[in-house]
Structure 1
Amino acid sequence: MGALSLPILALAISPVRAAAILLPILIVQDVVGVWAFRRQWDGHVLGWMLPGSVIGIALGWFFAAQVSESAVLGVVGAISILFGAYRLWVDRRGAIAAPARSPGWVGTLLGIASGFTSQIAHAGQPPFQIWVMPKRLERDVLVGTTAIFFAVTNWMKVPAYWALGQFSRENLMTAATLLPVAIASTLGGVWLVRRVSPTRFYTAIYVLMILVGVKLVWDGVA
Structure 2
Amino acid sequence: MLDLIPQLPTLGWVLLAVAAFAVGISKTALPGVTTLSVATFAAVLPAKQSTGALLVLLIVGDMFALWTYRRHADWSTLVKLIPAVAVGLLAGAAFLAFADDNWVRRVIGIILLILVAITVWRRYRTPETPSDRAAKIARVGYGSLGGFTTMVANAGGPVMAMYFLAAKFPVKAFLGTAAWFFTIVNIAKLPFSIGLGLITPSTLVLDLLLVPLLIGGAFLGRWLAPRLSQQLFDRIVLVLTIAGAVYLLV
Establish whether TM, by shorter chain, passes 0.5: yes
Where do 4+ consecutive residues of structure 1 move more than 6 Å? 187-194, 198-204
RMSD: 3.8
CA contact (8 A) 2:115 2:159 kept: no
Q: Equivalent residue for 2:14? A: none
Alpha carbons of 1:137 and 1:25: their partners in 2 closer, same or farther (altered >3 Å)? same
The answer for unaligned runs of 5 or more in structure 1 is 216-222
TM-score (norm 1): 0.70
CA displacement 1:8-35 (0-9 Å, x = unmatched): 2222333333121111111111112222
2:120 to 94, 98, 102: 94
Q: CA deviation at 1:152?
A: 1.1
Contact 1:41/1:144 (8 A) holds in 2:
yes
The equivalent of 2:62 in structure 1 is 30
Aligned to 1:76: 105
Q: Structure 2: which 5+ residue stretches go unaligned?
A: 1-22, 24-33
Assess, with a 3 A threshold, how the Cα gap between structure 1 residues 80 and 4 changes in structure 2: closer, same or farther.
Answer: farther
Please name the residue that 1:157 is paired with.
Answer: 189
Distance 2:146 2:73 in 1: 18
The answer to whether the 8 A contact 1:34-1:147 is kept is yes
Identical-residue share of aligned pairs (%): 23
| CA deviation profile, 1:118-177 (whole Å, cap 9, x unmatched) | 122222234434544444345433332121112111111112312322121112222222
Give the TM-score taking structure 2 as reference length: 0.64
SS at match of 1:52: helix
Listed as ranges, the matches of 1:1-222 within 5 Å are 1=23, 2-64=34-96, 66-67=97-98, 71-80=100-109, 83=112, 94-96=120-122, 100-103=130-133, 105-106=136-137, 107-184=139-216, 209-210=244-245, 212-215=247-250
Tell me how far apart the structure 2 counterparts of residues 115 and 155 of structure 1 sit (CA, whole Å): 13
Cα drift, residue 211 of structure 1: 5.6
Task: Give the count of matched residue pairs.
Answer: 206
1:46 shift after superposition: 0.8
Equivalent residue letter for 1:53: V
